[in-house]
Amino acid sequence: MRLAAALIIVLGITGCASTTDSSREPLRLTVSAANYSQVSGEELYRRVYAPDNTHPVFPAVAAPAKPLFYAFVPVDYSKDVPLETIYSEIATPLAQRGYFNVIYQIKAGLVPTRIDYLMRIYCGRRQWKIPTVRTDKVTWGNDDLVYTWRGAASSATANTIGTSSLWDPRVGMTPSEIASIATDFQGSQGNTGAMGGMATMGGMGNAGSRLSHSEQQSADFQDLSRDAGSRIYYLMVVEAFRFEDVREKKNAAPCVWATFVAVPLRVGLELSNVIRPMAHASMPYFGTTTDGLQVYEVQPGKVVVGEPVEVPGTQKAPPQSGPASP
């Protein structure tokens, strides 16, 4: 309950007023997580894509038997917030779970004798549809938020984190991409047939590269409606890799766990407003696998915080249960 209250207070005070229709909707902060070392295959897919959980119960937080030390590895991040700020905000919930940053330890005069994990960080703005973790085999060599097709092209997208424009149902399409493909598709039907015009999409940028694989073309191209509705999100993703795996297996090193937090962009809402509550919300989910998106809804508008009240006597902690940390 304390975590939910903190999210409501922090997000409410930032002010989420907008001139768009979305300003009338609750602000959704979502969390998706996967522990690839504990769950795999069909069960992982089923759990990640389970129905949204709009009344989430926070998983139990149990510290590891020994402290774990890690180093940050930035992959994609927004220039709107200094990288050091991103590090410090994420380091706080990680420390609550028993993960300690080696640089901060050294600065404090405590020199770790080892590095246990490398934490790969993505934090910034990106066009997206379904903010879930990946359910395929995530490795150190694939450092994008989507699966990299062998030999597929990618192109940069202005003002977003990441450079991949590969087809992924989680990413979806912008309305302009859907309109461009529909126009091209209709024009191709009178000349080379429904699928023959696909070759002309090479110059269509993002949308064209997403449809560059013949095994996907027919189903995806005929059902573009399922990829409508993408929007710009603020994303914060943490992927954990064992240091020894990366050193020994290099690009084949498997991801141990990942946590994906997202907040949809609104007019007047900056990354600096939401990075702390995003990091705060991620803490209970490090090293776990969620059943569907964990959705926290915050009503837009001003939140009036009353005077704090001291509760006398010893307060009992909530019962601890659930999956242990890796």
d(C-alpha 300, C-alpha 23), whole Å: 7
pLDDT in tens, 37-77: 999 889 999 999 999 999 898 888 777 788 999 999 999 88
> Where is average pLDDT lowest: 34-38, 53-57, 165-169?
165-169
Is 105 within 8 Å of 218 (Cβ atoms)? no
Helices 271-282, 2-14: inter-axial angle, 10-degree rounding: 170
Residue of 232, 227, 213, 216 lying closest to 182 (CA atoms): 227
222 has pLDDT over 50: no
The pLDDT, as a whole number, for residue 326 is: 39
Which pLDDT band holds residue 248 (cuts at 50, 70, 90)?
very high
H or E segment at 3?
A: helix 2-14
What confidence score (pLDDT) does residue 299 get?
54
Q: Which of 107-121, 176-190, 296-310 ranks highest by mean pLDDT?
A: 107-121
pLDDT for residue 275 is more than 90:
yes
What are the pLDDT digits (tens) for 170-202? 887 766 666 666 676 666 655 554 444 434 433
Contact 105, 111 (CB under 8 A): yes
**Can you tell me which residue has the tokens 């984190």?**
161
pLDDT at residue 324 above 70?
no
Give the pLDDT band of residue 162 (cuts 50, 70, 90): very low
The pLDDT assigned to 138 comes to 93
- The half-sphere exposure of 13 on its side-chain side, counting CA atoms within 13 A, is 12
DSSP letter string, 273-298: HHHHHHHHHHGGGTT---SS-EEEEE
Query: Cβ(217)–Cβ(211) under 8 Å?
Result: yes
CA distance 243 to 253: 9
* Residue type at position 232: I
DSSP string over 215-261: HHHHHHHHTGGGG---EEEEEEEEEEEEHHHHHHHGGGPBP-EEEEE
Q: Which pLDDT score is estimated for 155?
A: 36
**Who has greater pLDDT, 26 or 244?**
244
pLDDT at 236: 96
